[in-house]
Structure 1
Amino acid sequence: MNRLRQVRKSKGLTLEELAKELQEKENLKIVPNGLGKYEREEREPRRETWVKLADYYNVPVAYLMGLPDGLVQHINKTQTMTFEELHEAIIQWAENRNMISPKNTSRQYMKVSEELGEIAEGINKNNREQVEDSLGDILVTLIILAQDLNFDLLDCLKSEEKSKHYHD
């Protein structure tokens, strides 16, 4: 669960006040109703919106998104983490947020597609930071999609590797 409402309330702001402040200080055009949807998790903010909200509140994006400390710590220590450990941490994070469900398959597929669009934009604009961020997001969305479909992404990779050896 994200911390958008919690942080806004701790600052004593209404949705209307926040929308006005974000327009003035962060040049983020957003309506109060849109902010409310983000808070209720009826709609997911775009990456740029997460960053501007985090900048406005002066907190890390991961904190604002409500990422469990364990996942944030794992992501921050990826140099010492195996792919399998990262894979497991992402699944645990998604399960804690009730994001994994066969009912969510279409929605999760759309998130994968959205991230593919983001990476294409980053490549076209030669924006290395956007490409790097999109690659990470694609990996996370694919892992969750695989779980929704009752696949293990690691098994899918191993299956592909076996297939390569047979075709070589």
Structure 2
Amino acid sequence: MNRLRQVRKQKEITIKEVAEDTGISENLIGKYEREERELRRETWIKLADYYCVPVAYLMGLPDGLVQHINKTQAMTFEELHEAVIQWANDRNMIRSDRLTGLAQLAKVTEELGEISAGINKNDEDKAKDSLGDIMVTLIILAQDLNFDLLDCLNSAYNVIKDRKGKTINGVFVKETDLHK
């Protein structure tokens, strides 16, 4: 559960003031506070800066995790993987059923569109953010499907490691596809 409303009220700021100061509509701020709409990374950062609190705290990550992030300023892939799973579990996003898997697959696809836009527009920040978002959605999707993401990666690597082919215009083409 995020802390948007809690932090705003502690600072004795109205939704209208937040909207005027940040350029985010009052309607959206209300939806964000009620968790009726998910925030984009840029919005989390904007609001955390506005309220002068860490993004992780504002997102409602467990206090121990917030302290860990603040202390180390960097987490290992494994720690990030676990933090994403915990974040998704705290929001009841992982239920290991067909419907949640399909919903998460839709999020993966949405993020693919965003990275495409970032790359096509030479927007390095958008591409980097979108790549991170893709990783988050894949971690959650793997959890929904009861897959271990590292096992999936190992399987894929074992398939490609001895693959023969040719790189054409920066894209690797399998040998079997070269002769079609």
Q: CA deviation at 1:156?
A: 1.2
Q: CA deviation at 1:111?
A: 2.2
Change over 3 Å in CA distance of 1:46–1:91 after alignment to 2: closer
The answer to whether the 8 A contact 1:4-1:64 is kept is yes
Indicate yes or no: 2:50 matched with 1:56.
yes
Q: Which has the higher contact order (CA 8 A, sep 6+)?
A: 1
Aligned-partner Cα distance in 2 for 1:17–1:71: 30
Aligned-partner Cα distance in 2 for 1:70–1:132: 27
Aligned-partner Cα distance in 2 for 1:167–1:71: 41
Superposed structure 1 runs of 4+ greater than 4 Å apart: 69-72, 165-168
Please name the residue that 1:10 is paired with. 10
Q: CA deviation at 1:162?
A: 2.4
Aligned-partner Cα distance in 1 for 2:60–2:147: 26
Change over 3 Å in CA distance of 1:71–1:138 after alignment to 2: farther
Indicate yes or no: 2:150 matched with 1:154.
yes
- Aligned residue identity for 2:36: E
Aligned-partner Cα distance in 2 for 1:91–1:105: 14
Which SS does the other structure have where 1:100 is aligned?
A: coil
Indicate yes or no: 2:76 matched with 1:76.
no
Aligned-partner Cα distance in 2 for 1:151–1:12: 45
CA RMSD of aligned residues (A): 2.5
Q: Deviations over 1:125-150 (max 9, x none)?
A: 32222222222221111000111122
Unpaired runs of 5+ residues, structure 1, are: none
Please name the residue that 2:61 is paired with. 67
Change over 3 Å in CA distance of 1:6–1:29 after alignment to 2: closer
Which SS does the other structure have where 2:129 is aligned?
A: helix
Aligned-partner Cα distance in 2 for 1:91–1:46: 18
Greater helix content = 1
Which SS does the other structure have where 1:53 is aligned?
A: helix
For structure 1, which segment, 125-134 or 143-152, has the greater mean C-alpha deviation from structure 2 after superposition?
125-134
Q: Which has the larger radius of gyration?
A: 2
Please name the residue that 2:123 is paired with. 127
Q: How many residues align structurally?
A: 159
Q: Deviations over 1:88-118 (max 9, x none)?
A: 3322332233221224223322322232222
Per the normalisation by structure 2, the TM-score is 0.73
Please name the residue that 2:33 is paired with. 39
Please name the residue that 1:145 is paired with. 141
**What is the percent sequence identity of the aligned residues?**
65
Q: CA deviation at 1:166?
A: 6.8
Unpaired runs of 5+ residues, structure 2, are: 165-180
